[in-house]
Amino acid sequence: MRRVILLVMAVGLLAWAGWRLAVAPRGGMVAPAPVDTSGAGYRAVRLFFAAPSGDRLISESRELPESATLHERVAAIVGELDRGPTGPGAAALPPGTSLLHVYLDDEGLMTVDLSRAFQQGFRGGAQAEYLAVSSLVRTLAANVREARRVLIVCGGDPIPTLGGHVPLDRPLDASEMP
């Protein structure tokens, strides 16, 4: 008889637990909703490339996935500049340029630490140098509204210039780049 009572109590306890689990989502506990990846956010960015004539910059818009951090956002933007334009124009950055680190202070100074490819891969004269630097600075300022000035370093080290014509030993004011 004692076994029967224990068996009935065990079955009752299991039935009660199953009922609680079935009813719980309607009460205070709510089952988590499945993650919806179809609506992943995208952000329009404005990129600046060298015009086909090589005498000015032209802009191109692209949609990039929304990034959670400043580093991810700037790395994606620099990657798109390195990839080059999809329309007319030419990439102004030296091939293989990528972002290593980025820092933005409270006064709008963005310091970008680029791969050594930025400096070592540069081939060109004064106009090509001006276009490469302007492409980077204008693109960053257009897409990170807090950035008003940009300081460029390579591989963690300051560089005085890219090709001998544009000084990079001081921050460049984005508003001064045509």
Matching residue, tokens 């329309």: 87
Return the pLDDT at 115: 97
Q: State the Cα–Cα distance between residues 17 and 4, nearest whole angstrom.
A: 20
Q: Which residues contact 1 (CB under 8 A, 6 or more apart)?
A: none
Give domain status of residue 11, yes or no.
no
Give me the long-range contacts of 158-162 (CB less than 8 A, separation at least 24): 159/119, 161/129, 162/118, 162/119, 162/122, 162/129, 162/132, 162/133
DSSP string across 118-169? HHHT----HHHHHHHHHHHHHHHHHH-TT--EEEEEETTEE-SBSSSSSB-S
Per-residue pLDDT of the chain (178 residues; tens, 9 = 90+): 555 454 444 454 444 444 444 434 444 433 343 433 444 699 999 999 999 999 999 999 999 999 999 999 999 999 999 999 999 999 999 999 999 999 999 999 999 999 999 999 999 899 999 999 999 999 999 999 999 999 999 999 999 999 999 999 999 998 888 7
In the DSSP assignment, the letter for residue 32 is P
Place of tokens 């700037």: 74
Q: Is residue 57 part of a domain?
A: yes
| pTM of the shown model | 0.76
Residue 56 lies in a domain: yes
Instruction: Judge whether 55 lies within some domain.
Output: yes
Residue 115 in domain: yes
Would 9 be classed as within a structural domain? Answer: no
Report how many domains make up the chain: 1
**pLDDT at res. 1:** 58
Domain membership flag for residue 156:
yes
Range of the domain at 161: 42-176
Q: Residue 177's pLDDT is what?
A: 81
Let me know if 178 is exposed, middle or buried by CB neighbors in 10 A (0-12, 13-18, 19+): exposed
Work out the mean pLDDT of the chain and round it to a whole number: 83
Q: Is residue 33 part of a domain?
A: no
Q: What is the pLDDT of residue 2?
A: 55
Q: Taking a C-beta distance cutoff of 8 angstroms, is the pair 53, 66 a contact?
A: no
